[in-house]
Amino acid sequence: MRWIRLSYPNAVSFHVANERKTSPMRGAKLKKMGVLAGVPDIHILDPRKIYCGLFIELKTAKGRLTPSQKDVIERIENAGYKCAVCRSLDEVIEVVDDYFS
């Protein structure tokens, strides 16, 4: 996030902390509050070209998308946003620079 904010300071960008472990009771409360499983980690709300914004899911080298992540990413793309899965900082930089170019 620091690199994104330094490189593109006028873009509205943020991380959604959806990955936390919680008790079933707290999880139910969060769900009622609108937390949605599968939402990508990074959001950049800056329309470019044909896209309304950019969403990035961060994964390890061997990490896999969950079914809920696949579903949400497909729904986000159908709504006019660009989505990417990145496995390194270099990939994030490449995706973000490409999005803004």
Contact 81, 45 (CB under 8 A): no
* Domain around 22: 2-100
What total of structural domains would you count in the chain? 1
Q: What's the pLDDT score for residue 57?
A: 95
Is residue 4 within 8 Å of residue 41, measured between CB atoms? no
- Give the pLDDT band of residue 90 (cuts 50, 70, 90): very high
**pLDDT > 90 in the chain, percent:** 75
CATH number at residue 32: 3.40.1350.10
Tens digits of residue pLDDT in 7-29: 999 999 999 877 667 777 877 78
34: left (phi over 0), alpha (psi -120 to 50) or beta: left
The whole-number pLDDT of residue 84 equals: 97
- Pairing state of beta strands 54-58 and 82-86? parallel
Rg (C-alpha) for the chain, rounded Å, is 14
pTM for the full predicted model: 0.86
